[in-house]
Amino acid sequence: MKRLLGLVLAAVLLVGLPARPAAQGIDVSGEWAITVNTDGGPIPATLVLKQDGEKVTGSIKSEQGELALEGTMKDKTLTFAFVYPAPDGSNLTITMTGTIEGDTIKGTADFGGTGSGDWSATKK
């Protein structure tokens, strides 16, 4: 009887435990000051991120405007994408991938097949 009670108690405790923290304890939620380096020069912007498990949503805001983004956070790698309305009327999907070290992220950007660059961000 004690053994059965112990098993039931263990099962209840396991079910009642909160989910494992996202990305092994890394949560990118919050505001980040970001600089994207392009052929035309650096572009400063602000990332606002919200993380739910591995899913990341938010926005990137610069002098060109504010755009919604979606992505993932796995281990120490953040990947997100957003659609940029280019001056010629086309829409470019920009994909950015970075590695997190403390309160900084450094990575690369693919400008929708029209080029690439690097970027870095610091948590505000």
Q: What is the pLDDT of residues 43-94, one digit of tens each?
A: 999 999 999 999 999 999 999 899 999 999 999 999 999 999 988 899 999 9
Residue 91 and residue 98: Cα distance in Å, rounded?
Answer: 23
Residue 95 and residue 30: Cα distance in Å, rounded?
Answer: 20
What is the pTM for the complete model shown?
0.79
Give pLDDT, residue 33.
98
- 3-class DSSP state of 15: helix
What does the domain layout of the chain look like in residue ranges? 21-123
Give pLDDT, residue 16.
42
Amino acid occupying residue 16 = G
* Architecture of the domain made up of 21-123: Beta Barrel (2.40)
Give pLDDT, residue 24.
55
Half-sphere exposure of 118 (CA within 13 A, CB side): 5
Asked if pLDDT for residue 116 goes beyond 90, the answer is yes
Asked if pLDDT for residue 124 goes beyond 90, the answer is yes
